Structure formats: structure tokens, C-alpha cells
Amino acid sequence: MSREFSLYLDVVRLLAALLVVLYHSNSRLLSSAKLPFAEHGHAAVIVFFVLSGYVISYVTAHKENTALVYWSSRLSRFYLLAVPAVLLTPVLDQVGEALAPAFYGSSTTHTLGWLRILTSLTFANELWGWSIMSFSNVPYWSLCYEMAYYTLFAVARFTQGRRRRWLLAAVMLALGPKILLLAPLWLLGVGLHRWTPLQRLAPWQGWLLFLASWPLYGWFQQAGLTPYGAALLARLTGADWQRTLAFSKFFITDYPLALIVAANFVGVRCIARQCPALPAPVERLLRRLAAQTFALYIFHQPLLLFFSALINGDPGGKLFYAEVVGATVLTAVLAGAGLDHYRPWLRRRLLMLLRDSYSACHRVLNSVKT
């Protein structure tokens, strides 16, 4: 991956994370006016899925080329932030609701807390017909989808033959149709990285894809195709079945949206080296900010609600909104930066644990055979 294209992907994920924050901050209790660009939150998640598939395919081709290394890296990245997010969210919710319950309304729940914590830490919230909210942390659903795709990819990448077929079938059976409906979006990112004809495009083709993707995306949003897709599904299948799909109910129009995102990525990859380089300090700043997008994504929803209740200002003015969003972003970024220092240690510990577990299983199997 070229340095220029890598930087572009960093900027894209940073902007996507900020759009998700903007989407969830678009509350009349926080700002009496509707916020511009707040309607791009769902599209930003689709961008994350395509981007994730591309990045995971890339890292397994160049760095994480064994199952143990792959899983120690994936699990350390997720659990480093997921554990504090899952355990702190109910605490923040309880305190925030005690201070100003109006900001919460039906945005959170406290029943069956043990189940919510258990399913969140095992990323099982969205299996089959379940849609178990991780307290007020609504965006957590996409992490469950991501972990499912990591698992499917690992089986396909690190196993072979009959074992691969049986394991893939077992994993898909465990996940259910809801998660599998959006799997093609993630796999599209894998295809962008692995399909060599897309890497041999002429510069004019790259420019065409890049320039065409923006008006196509603008038309997609202007036409309101995301809510149209959900409404169309309800008409085709009935409202009850559509509701069981939860966050996958937009899949009909998520597919063309993902193709637009893919066209943009392919185009930029082709023309990236022709673009002027940014000044080194700007590039370093962008990469450091992009490194905290996962922390911003996983922490922002409970923090938005908590700081709204804590500050409890006037939604008719701009100061209250700026204070809440500023405190949310700063807290999430600082938490992410602080926890990042422990990721190498956690990755090493997980690698040792996985190796020991693998060796123990291998010894047991050998003893059974003999």
C-alpha cells in the first residue's frame, strides 16, 4: 500500500468517525437546530465495513500471516477498548440518568445487565434475531458484525480443504442471516485488495472512478436511498420481519452504497502517487488523530449522553453543544491514547496464551490418537 493511499484511508476513517459522532449528537435536547451532515452516520458505518475488509486483507498478506499472530492482534485491538467501554457505560448511564434523566429517555436500559455485559464482551449481541443493546452504547452493534467477519475471514484464510468448509458452515450457522446480509460489504473490501486487475488501471480510469464517486454519493444521499431501502424491505417482507433485521434492514441500498465507496477507493489507489504530498507535520497529525478513531467510535455515545446530563445547558445556543461534543471527543481521544500504550503488552500476552492453548490442544489430540 502506498504511503499516499494509506494516508487517504486514515483521513477517510477519521472523517467517518466524526460523522458518526455528529449523527449521534443530532439530538434536539443537545441542539435545538438540526445539524448539517448528520444524515451521513449510517453511510459512515458502511465506509468502515469496506475499509475494514481492505485493511484486514492487506495486513494478513504482509504482517499477520499466521492464525495466532492474526488473533492476538485482532483481540488486543478490540478488547483493549471494549472491556472499559462495556464496564464503564452502565456506570456513566446510571450517573447521567440520576443527574438529568431527560437526556436519556429510551436511549438506554438497565435490565439484565449481566447479560448485556456478557454478550458485549463476547460480541454476541446481534446473533440471529438478537439485538441486545450494550446499555446506551448503540454503535456497539457494528463491532459485533466486525468480529463475525474477522472470524469468517480467519477460517477462510488459515484453514484448508474439508475443515475450512465445515468451519465456515458452522460459523455462518452460528451468526445467522442478519450479520451475513452485510458480509458482502466487508468482503468487497477484501476483493478490492486482492483482485489484481483493479490494481492495473490506467490513471485516467482512476481519475474517472474517483471523480464519479462523489456526485454518485451525493445523489445517493440526496435521494434518501437509505431510508427508502428500509421502507422497500418492509413492503416486501412485512414490518415485523424487517424489524428483526435491526441494523441490517438497510441492506438493499447498502450494496450500491458500498460499490460507490469501493469505486472511490480504487480510484484513489490508482492516482494517489500523482497527488502532492502534505507537509510532514500535517501528515503526522492526521495519522495520530486517525489512530484514535476506534476509541472515538466505541466511547462517544455513552460520553455524549453523560456530558449532556452533566453540563445540562441550553440547547438553543451553540455553547452547550460545543461543550458536550468537545468533552466527548477529548475524553475519548485521551482514553484511547492512554490505553494504546498497553496494546503491545496485551498483544504479546494474548499471543503467548494462544500458543499455550494451541499446544495443549495439540497434545490432547495426540494422546487421544495414541
pLDDT score of 369: 60
Is the Cβ–Cβ distance between 300 and 139 less than 8 Å?
Answer: yes
For the chain of 370 residues, list the mean pLDDT of each consecutive stretch of 10: 89 95 92 90 96 95 91 96 96 93 78 92 94 93 97 95 94 96 97 90 93 96 94 92 92 96 95 84 91 95 96 91 96 95 94 87 68
Residue 275: enclosing H or E segment and its boundaries? none
d(CA 22, CA 41): 7
Is the Cβ–Cβ distance between 112 and 94 less than 8 Å?
Answer: no
Q: How far is CA 74 from CA 70, 120, 121, 159, 344, in A?
A: 6, 16, 14, 17, 12
Residue 168: enclosing H or E segment and its boundaries? helix 161-175
Phi and psi for 103 in degrees, rounded to 5? -75, -20
Is the Cβ–Cβ distance between 226 and 253 less than 8 Å?
Answer: yes
pLDDT score of 274: 82
* 1: its cell numbers: 500500500
| b/e sequence 172-198, b meaning 16+ C-beta within 10 Å | beebeebbbbbbebbbbbbebbeeeeb
**CB burial class (10 A; 0-12, 13-18, 19+) of residue 35?**
middle
| b/e sequence 222-261, b meaning 16+ C-beta within 10 Å | eeebbeebbbebeeeeeeeebeebebbbbbbbbbebbebb
d(CA 53, CA 187): 6
pLDDT score of 107: 63
Instruction: Name residues whose C-beta falls within 8 Å of residue 105's C-beta, 6 or more positions apart in sequence.
Output: none
pLDDT score of 151: 97
For residue 83, the SS3 value is: helix
d(CA 138, CA 300): 10
pLDDT score of 365: 64
Can you tell me which residue has the cell 496494546?
343
* 68: its cell numbers: 495466532
